[in-house]
Structure 1
Amino acid sequence: MALSCLTLSLSGNPSSLIFKCKASLPTALHALDAAHIRRAALLADKSAGFTSPHPNFGCVIVAPSGHVAGEAYLYAQGTAAAEVQAVAAAAESCRGATAYLNMEPGDCHGDHSAVSALLQGGVKRVVIGMRHPLQHLRGNAVRALRNQGLHVDLFGEDLTGNLIEKECLLVNAPLICRAASRVPFSVLKYAMTLDGKIAASSGHASWISSKQSRHLVFELRGRSDAIIVGGNTVRMDNPRLTARHGGGHMPMRVVMSQTLDLPEEANLWDMSEVSTIVVTQRGARRSFQKQLASKGVEVVEFDILNPREVMEYFHDRGYLSILWECGGALAASAISSGVIHKVYAFVAPKIIGGKNAPSPVGELGMVEMSQALNLIDVCYKQVGPDMLISGFLQPLPDIIPVIPSRDETFVVDPTVSPESRIIFFYKAWDPYGALYLIFFLLHFFCFHLLFCCIANRYNFMCRTETFLLGTQINSDWDNIKIDVMYKALKCKFSMYPHLNSMLLSTAGSVLVEASPHDLFWGGGREGEGLNYLGRLLMKLRSEFLGESSSSSETSSLTV
């Protein structure tokens, strides 16, 4: 989502570079390395929006003769790795070549195809722009390549070039920010007149910005997983929120409305092109909720509707990037909640005036200019007659050492005290927030087993992150559902050897299902949950290890 800054910083025009390099590249060789890494980063940026929630990868293969023999980027989820494509394109020229990667290879499924392709292609040297930002993947590919005799250089470690590191960070800013903040990377976009108005006093807003700016907005939408608007935008503008002219990716459309005071007919209720989710306060207009559901619109209720809760929810659904195209009131609420990471402001050379004409950001409670929020790493770009000003409201997190421990997977070190051996896992749909230990997705066998256990006795409900079985019919319900869950887990981990091995590799560690919302199976927001899922996995692990059910592991667990 670092579109304008990345485009400027990779343009090759020294006057447009936003980030100053603290240390110059010492040799011509390093200068060539930097140029090829820039190219890899530019290639990687082409996949933004298509690979979510995976990182954006680019690869450039330079033959011993110095010519570029092959280059590629990850097109979308499930497609061949950039390295695999680039090696194939380089063919025999790959022998003895140097591979340039914007980021260390590594994905959530443990796919080693990128490393294997480089090895089998005969690459002799690999230059990497940055290590993988996620702790449990960081350094794995670098070690694997070096163990096979390849020479690996990393910018910021083996090679100097702060500018290169920053450009590589920008390509995957959504992943880095999301992992650190536990909410999707959120961008607030708006168009305003030169006097700071987003509409006339009457509410009319078409069109403030130019056709060129609107085309760029379509591109921004195409790089996002979802677009959020408020109820007033739906009532006043009746938008479609599609990414037409912006590529093949169509982001989800999200409407935030506390009261569901929304029109019965709206373009957003048309599901023919892309789906819509409406998030609202619990109990709001039940009859209208049913009407929306009949059109195929998903309605999600919250006890208290606010941007932070909504973003945490979409983080848990696996969303990586969110584009906010809302009015001033919702924009102010999102900024105040701390969920906005970046701002894109299109300023049109127009003046409309109007005391009551709306502005892009509502009341933030600031009374002095010293309280104003300053953008970081500001970029300026002319788009047709308009000026695009963009920048971060929050700095990019420092990825060393860090992304929070809940994103880490580690091998137990016998020298480390048991108290520190805690492995958190959470959600099956979110590979980058999970530790691969929750593998009971809706697999047919597990579903069949669960259904047989409870047929004709209990109602059945299922959520993707875990199984919630029915409603309490009798006082023994908790024990029954725990027993059913244990049987389902045992079947799943018995059927798949690689899952069994992964579970056994955690021996000696405490397993915590870190869901902040599920107090029964998970750990709860403040550790007040029962963590029955973690307890059952530890019990199952003991059984697989041939041990008696160990009470010491679970009794020492405090969540």
Structure 2
Amino acid sequence: MTADDPRLTARHVKGHVPVRIVMSQSLNLPEEANLWNVHDAYTIVATQRGARRDLQKKLALKGVEVVEFDMLNPRDVMSYCYDRGYLSVLWECGGTLAASAISASVIHKVYAFLAPKIIGGVNAPTPVGELGMNQMTQAIDLIDVSYEQIDRDMLMSGFIQPIPDLSPVIPSVDEMPSVDPEVSPYETNIISFYKTWDTFGAFSNFSPHPIHMPDENGDYFTWPTVEHYYQAHKFIGVDDPQAREIVQEIKLAKSPEEAARIGRTRQREFQELVRPDWDSIKIEVMYRATKRKFSTYSHLTDMLLSTAGSVLVEASPHDLFWGGGREGEGMNYLGRLLMQLRSEILGTIQTAVEVGEPA
């Protein structure tokens, strides 16, 4: 958006001018842009609750409608559009958002332009981001495909075959079953989470839910995500200026992905700067941060309790410690911690009910 400053209006033809919708979790958007000119077309900005209140006020003064979501994701945005009567939505987005929209099964038809040009490179843009599909046998097939040549380009369009919903039936919270965190992560009644835009993506360390926790000096600091807190604690407590610099670097990381990259890279490069007790305390560090996140955001607690009776699995295909792996070979410690936390909350509620106290 900052590169080309688009208008996203219907041009060169007469007819309906559609409503423009901008999705941004962090609201890291320019204060001045063509999209904020509501005389061209009405504009709605969908964002994470609490993101950049200052910019929200400025956009409102320009006539832009800002809508906050507890957990910004394509499915909830499409539900919102449906409630507003917007029944035909054209997604024009980058690879990351395209992947999340496809994963959420909110894309029905694809239009793809093929140009007679070749680009390549490690950082080259891709039309579709991470879908967890690395083999042709995993590819999503298009049906009713058609082709149209436009000048030197080729326009291909086709419908995405419905992706089956494999989510298990979630039992009522009233049943309050006792869940064993040691249960095999690939038995029946599984709820998987991985990407933040998944249905249960808020369970991820990368979810945009800041937590107020002590920093390396014992002072309370608002960590942008659980991942920031976790990665920084690899180096907190080490009496070395370089270790302290790494902690600051992680604290200032602009995204959880960047925080994870810094933490993992520095851990490999400077093993002598990693706290010596890290392997023995990392689960406790993760538990403290996760517990604070769920105690801070009541809607996340409700989401966690809604999974009672189901096995929670972080479906990371690469992390065999915190995740479940591709074939269930992972130890799934993040899923286990969440189930442990869920059991503790359910136990607290049950105790309060038994003694007649408000839960």
TM-score calculated relative to the size of structure 1:
0.29
TM-score scaled to structure 2, two decimals? 0.44
Query: For the pair shown, which has the larger CA radius of gyration, 1 or 2?
Result: 1
